[in-house]
Structure 1
C-alpha cells in the first residue's frame, strides 16, 4: 500500500484561500538564468480536468538547453515559442489528486503521464493524460513524450526490411530511435556520437555499430564497412546546424535523411554538396504531428507495450536525480558537461523532506 499523500509530498497541497493552491515551479526568468518560484493558482476543476501532484519530471536536455540559451533565428518555431519568463519541461509523471465531474477514465491515486512543465501541482485536461500501468515505474513513464517524438521519426523514414541506417546524436532521442530501429527489422545500425559515454549506453547487440566520433569522421569507416554502398537512411538528431551536410554525405543515391533535431539557427545550416546530384530526400518531422493513422495515444500505448514486453529499456538511461530545489545546479551541469548526463529527473516527492 502506498503511504498517505502527506508522507509522500511533505505538506498536503497548501490552500491559501478557497480553491487556491500554492505550487513550486522551475522557471527560466531570462537567458541563462534558472530560478525556483512559488505561484498560487486556481485549483477549481472544470468538468474534464484533473488536479495532479508531480512525482517526477525529466529534463529534455536538447530542447530545454536551447530554450535556456535563447539563441534563435528570427521567424523560427523557437523564437515564437520561447518568451521569458519561460516555464520549461513537458515530460511529467504525477498522481491524480482530484477529478472533474465529467472524468471517467481516472480516479484519485492514479499515476498519469502529462505533458506538463516542471511544477509541483497543476491542473490538466483529462483527455491529454496517459494512465500508467502498475508495472511501469514513474522513471519509465516519464519517457512517454520522447517515445512518441522518436516513434514519429522512425515512421517518417518509412523503412523497408533489411535497410541499413545511421543515427547521428545519441542523446535522449537518439537512444530511443536506436531501440525502435532495432525492433523495426533494419539490417544494420550505425550509432554515431563523439561522446564515448553516450555510445556506451547503446546496447552492444549484433548489427549495431557503435561509433564514438563525429559524423564527418564516420564517413570513411561507413564507406569501408558498406563496401562503398553507404546508408539507406540517416537520422540527424543533433539539432546542430553543421550536421545536416555531414548526414547527406552518408546516404546512398536516393537515400533519406530524417531531421528529428530542429536547429534554432537554420541560417547556419547547409544541405551538403550532393543532395540534388544523388537525389537525396530530406524529411522533417515535428513532435506535434500525427502520421499515417498513428495518433499520440496510440503511440504512447505502443511504447508502454514495448516496456511491458521488455522489448525496450529506458532504465539504464536514467543517470541523475535532483530535487526540484536543485534545478539551477542540474541545468548548470548540463550547460557545462551535457555529455556526462542522459536522463536527468526531478524527484518532486523530496519536497518537504530536505529540512
Structure 2
C-alpha cells in the first residue's frame, strides 16, 4: 500500500520546503500507521538545524545532514495497527517523536497514548516536558534552594514550572525579551527579570544579600552565557547546561569556576536518569496537566498550516522573541486540498 504524504524539509542551510512524496504504508507486526494532527516546533533546536553553523566533531555536525527532516514533537491519530499491537487501536491519539510529516509509520512501543482529557495541542509538548524534567532531575534540588533560569523559550518556561513544583524557595527567571518574561506564571517566589544574565547579576546579588544562587540553568545554547551563569551561583553551586551550543569552541566557563568549586552539569534529551525512564516521565507530565499543576496552553502563540512552513520559520528567524509555542495544524491540509 502506498500513501502520498506532505513533509517539511530543510533541503539545505536556511532553506525550508514543503515536499509531497509517496511512501510504503504497509505495516510491520509491531508498527502503527499515523495521520498527523498537530506538531510543535522546537524553536531552539530546529532553528539551529536550519542555520547549519556547527563546530566539527559535535553532536550537531553528525546529526544534521541535508536534506534534513526537522521536528520531534507530534500528536497523531492511529489509522491502522500491526498484527501484534495490543495496547493501541484505530482512532487513538498518540504522542510520537516524529518529524513534521502528514502520514508516517512508527513502532507502537514508541507511542504514548493520550488521555481524552488532554488536547492534541497540549500533548505535543510531551517531548519537551521530558527534556526539561531531565534538567531539573540533574540538578538534584533540595527543598528551599534558590534557583535561576537563563533563557525563557520553550524549555525555560517548562523548567520554571517544574522548579515551582519542586519546592524552590526563590526562582529568578531571566530573559532580555519582555514578551517571554510575561509568559512566566506570576506566582509567589518567582522573580521575572527582563534582562540578560550579566545584567541580572547585580539584582540577584542584592536580592540574596550577596549569597547568590544554589543552582542556575543555562537553557540558551548561546556560547557566551555559560560564563555569565557561573557568576550567579554561590561557592559549590551547580550550573545545569540544558542548552547545547553548536559552537563549543567559543564557549568559556567563567573566571571563578575552580576557586568557587562550581559544578557544571550537562544533560541530554535522550538520557534516562536514576530510574526515571521516558515513558514514566511522559506520564508524570500528563498527570500534572490533568491535575492543573502545569499549563502549556498560554504558551501557544502561533498556529500554521504545514503548507505555510517557510513563513513560520521565517517568523522565528527574524522575530523569534515574538513567538513561543508554534504549532503546525495538519488538519488544515484536508481543508486546503
TM value normalised by structure 1: 0.95
Tell me what 1:22 maps to. Answer: 4
Tell me what 2:163 maps to. Answer: 181
What CA distance in whole angstroms lies between the structure 2 residues aligned with 1:336 and 1:301? Answer: 35
Could you give the per-residue CA deviations for residues 65-85 of structure 1, whole angstroms, max 9, x where no partner exists? 000000000000000000000
Deviation at 1:39, TM superposition (A): 1.5
Tell me what 1:263 maps to. Answer: 245
Consecutive unaligned residues of structure 2, counting only runs of 5 or more, are none
Consecutive unaligned residues of structure 1, counting only runs of 5 or more, are 1-18
Tell me what 1:354 maps to. Answer: 336
**Alignment partner of 1:207 is 2:189:** yes
**Alignment partner of 1:108 is 2:108:** no
Could you give the per-residue CA deviations for residues 239-262 of structure 1, whole angstroms, max 9, x where no partner exists? 000000000000000000000000
**Alignment partner of 1:241 is 2:223:** yes
Match of 1:39 among 21, 29, 51: 21
What CA distance in whole angstroms lies between the structure 1 residues aligned with 2:107 and 2:322? Answer: 36
What CA distance in whole angstroms lies between the structure 1 residues aligned with 2:28 and 2:90? Answer: 16
Deviation at 1:352, TM superposition (A): 2.6
Matched position secondary structure for 2:303 = strand
Tell me what 1:166 maps to. Answer: 148
Tell me what 1:6 maps to. Answer: none
Matched position secondary structure for 2:319 = helix
Written as runs of structure 1 = structure 2, the 5 A alignment for 1:277-296 is: 277-296=259-278
Matched position secondary structure for 1:27 = strand
Could you give the per-residue CA deviations for residues 262-295 of structure 1, whole angstroms, max 9, x where no partner exists? 0000001000000000000000000000000000
What CA distance in whole angstroms lies between the structure 2 residues aligned with 1:37 and 1:249? Answer: 47
Tell me what 2:64 maps to. Answer: 82
What CA distance in whole angstroms lies between the structure 2 residues aligned with 1:273 and 1:333? Answer: 37
Tell me what 1:7 maps to. Answer: none
Could you give the per-residue CA deviations for residues 203-244 of structure 1, whole angstroms, max 9, x where no partner exists? 111000000000000000000000000000000000000000
Matched position secondary structure for 1:352 = helix
Matched position secondary structure for 1:116 = coil
Matched position secondary structure for 1:232 = strand
**Alignment partner of 1:301 is 2:283:** yes
Deviation at 1:20, TM superposition (A): 0.9
Deviation at 1:103, TM superposition (A): 0.2
Q: CA RMSD in A?
A: 0.5
What CA distance in whole angstroms lies between the structure 1 residues aligned with 2:313 and 2:85? Answer: 36
Tell me what 1:151 maps to. Answer: 133
Q: What is the total number of aligned residue pairs between the two structures?
A: 337
What CA distance in whole angstroms lies between the structure 2 residues aligned with 1:243 and 1:127? Answer: 38
Matched position secondary structure for 2:331 = helix
What CA distance in whole angstroms lies between the structure 2 residues aligned with 1:27 and 1:58? Answer: 15
Matched position secondary structure for 1:353 = helix
What CA distance in whole angstroms lies between the structure 2 residues aligned with 1:143 and 1:36? Answer: 23
Matched position secondary structure for 2:34 = strand
Could you list the structure 1 runs, at least 4 aligned residues long, displaced by more than 4 angstroms after superposition.
none
Matched position secondary structure for 1:257 = strand
Tell me what 2:295 maps to. Answer: 313
Tell me what 2:304 maps to. Answer: 322
Deviation at 1:354, TM superposition (A): 2.3
Match of 2:38 among 43, 48, 56: 56
Matched position secondary structure for 2:172 = strand
Deviation at 1:353, TM superposition (A): 1.0
TM value normalised by structure 2: 1.00
Matched position secondary structure for 1:177 = helix
**Alignment partner of 1:141 is 2:123:** yes
What CA distance in whole angstroms lies between the structure 2 residues aligned with 1:144 and 1:20? Answer: 30
